[in-house]
Amino acid sequence: MNLKFGTDGIRGPVETVITPEACLKMGYATGTIAKELGWSTVMIGKDTRVSGYMLESALQAGFISAGIDVKLLGPIPTPGVAYLTRSLRDAFGLVISASHNNFLDNGIKIFMPNGEKLSKDIEKRIEKILSKDMNMVETSAIGKAARFDESGARYIEFCKSTVPSNISFSSLRVVLDCAHGACYKVSPSVFSELGAEVIPIGVEPNGFNINEGCGSTHPELLQEQVIKHRADYGIALDGDGDRVILVDNEGSILDGDDLLYIMAFANPNRSGPWSGVVGTKMSNFGLEDGLNKLGYKFIRADVGDKYVSQKLSEKGWLLGGETSGHIISKDLVSTGDGTVAALKVISSLLMLEKSPKEVLSNYNKRPQANIAVQVNNKDIVNDPEIQSAVSQAQSDITVDRVLVRPSGTENKIRVMVEAPDEKTATKYATDISKLIKSKT
């Protein structure tokens, strides 16, 4: 069984990688290691993909065969599973989701009882078991399974609790795009119960339309709806709800860098756990410069909210995130949470009595060109000619940063070039991307 953990769990096509057989083995292997770690119960959530119920059954069988009890949560955002694992103490969590990918893919994300994603060490131990035959426990020791119907209600109440009691959303009209994904029920309830007028879109999942032309990876629909409805804010979540993009009342997109800056700007306490912010190699240099001017330290982690979380723990800091919209405020959550991040940003702006444009005028983002190239083999990134092109771009004094890396979740090479002017960034990103395409 050639399953390997990537940047964010295991992900791939259902027909060839995340198959029922693979999930059966994954449940057994993870359950075997969980027992060694003293974890007795797994909470399994999923998004709205058509393959979710099939894979849930296979994983359930695998865990039970290893002697692990199973609680089935049904469709719930990834951060909701992370929250419940922390809440129930002795349980660990698993999410069946391929996040922002389309319905043809699915994946597995696993959380430890503290709500953090698995360490590399535990991932390797699970991979080692995957290579062996299954050897189920005695029948008297097999696990039991039950539905846990409170998951959505508990997560809604948790999200609402992150908003200060003196902040009211009653004056706001919000367009909320749930990407036909895991947030389609819970997130509209969160905002409406906080008093906002909610215009929901992307809330009619059919198993096949997750992330299709909507959500955080396709914010154009949200921009249109914000202008059409004269909304104060637009919020776009992805398929499993762990990342978010906002749109202001003029239809301008606020990415993860913008959201981090707003949260940092609004925080009056810039010492101790709040003295630094963690971004990634993709974070705009303008964010780093802007945060430094506010008095924060700034460091970069590898791409992936898991690595941002690890850096925050190492430094003892509380705020970090990715340009893509994974935002972690560790005083509240243990992983990227799109709904909580949106609540935090909007609450911050209400507290400041400022618009996003007013706050963001205090920092200048550098032009950044990002291109994703579909490839058959991600190892092509190590091709000498491609490496030479990257080195040539990096040596140009008119270029700030160049990052060419294999995607951790898709068969793509991601090209990012940052420069003082958009023309230079676009030229180098396009040239490198064309070279990669010529070799696929």
Q: Kindly list the catalytic residues.
A: 99
* Token pair 């389609």 in the structure block, residue: 184
In a 13 Å sphere around the CA of 217, the CA atoms on its Cβ side amount to: 17
Kindly give, in sequence order, each residue whose CB lies less than 8 Å from that of residue 319, ignoring residues fewer than 6 positions away: 260, 263, 264, 267, 274, 277, 278, 312, 328, 329, 330
- Sort 380 into a burial class: Cβ within 10 Å, 0-12 / 13-18 / 19+: middle
Other CB atoms within 10 Å distance of the CB of residue 149: 10
The strand order across the sheet containing 233-237 reads: 197-201, 173-177, 233-237, 244-247, 253-254
Tokens of residue 172, six digits: 């706001």
Residue with tokens 């005028």: 361
CB 29 within 8 A of CB 158: no
Task: Determine phi and psi for 286, rounding to 5 degrees.
Answer: -60, -35
Report the largest interatomic distance among the alpha carbons of the chain, rounded to a whole angstrom: 69
